[in-house]
Chain A
């Protein structure tokens, strides 16, 4: 049990506790803050995997933008009896069973059946990972990159038009 194992367990605990707050808390605002905690845990996991760029981008996009959007939406769509509204719908028991069964199947498969089937290692990260990523984005993967920018433009215009006051 090296230090890396310990750090991994702490970060996974933060992630899963945050997710637990999201799905179990009746107060929507606290659920949103639990989601922020979970995003930080995931960013920590990326940092542990030595992919610092994705960790910072995770914080920037998820915590800095998407969480703020969701919090705004919670505040702008408040109902009068917000605290007393039941948050679970009528099919919650079935969905709990489904989620548990899915986790059981996935967990069993991952932990016992296919644990070491992939050739681990490759040849290490490139020396300048950010330059390599930038180069890949504009040479090999230029088409997905351009399509993603068009998608963002469409989403931007669409969101403004939909949410506009008529």
Chain B
């Protein structure tokens, strides 16, 4: 039975069916991800189109008509007259895009380097693991900040804002590849020593094939767990970077940027600008984290 099939066998399905937390978390995650992906179709307004905004709509309280324009918004508007509900949907889209891309980037890089280190061993392994050590102890926020700084230098002035989001993805991703690499390296070293792999090598099976067919499926479980938690972490990291003044342009805010803007209104009475995006972020990150938690337990064969 291949590892992938094992991943989806009935034990997991059973564990999911019997865990109400997992079901709720999964349902909430799916709904939020769908809402974010479908934002252009389901959001009442397009907050990313500056021409459609009326500044005078700004600071409309939720469900009440604006004093100047008379317009009403379910969750109110922010300081630019953007509908909070629509901005949350579009912002979640940005946050999830950054999160997923960063995780994917970290995963690909981490798995690749982990396999390389585990398979080759020797100085390649030593070098990669030393780099990993450095990075694991060096604050990831600092790493992301520094990468963002470097990228600014290399990217021509006119291009920076368009690529800011990609820089962010690389910055968050690069600060997070080590965990994958460590897990994959460990598993690779274990598998490498096993007889079937030795045998395959002897009969001349291409190493890439061995790695892809036999080793990779074995590490997919832990990798998936790291990736799930990593998704939540990446979304939060994006928000933190936004607080430090690094991130997506304010005309196309992520959830984190919305919170950064919203916290300026904590004492001013416009509580809805902070509250709703924070709830959205909390619910999203919490459900993804809970899902990760459940996955970790479910995938651990000894805990079944």
Are chains A and B native binding partners rather than an unrelated pairing?
Answer: no
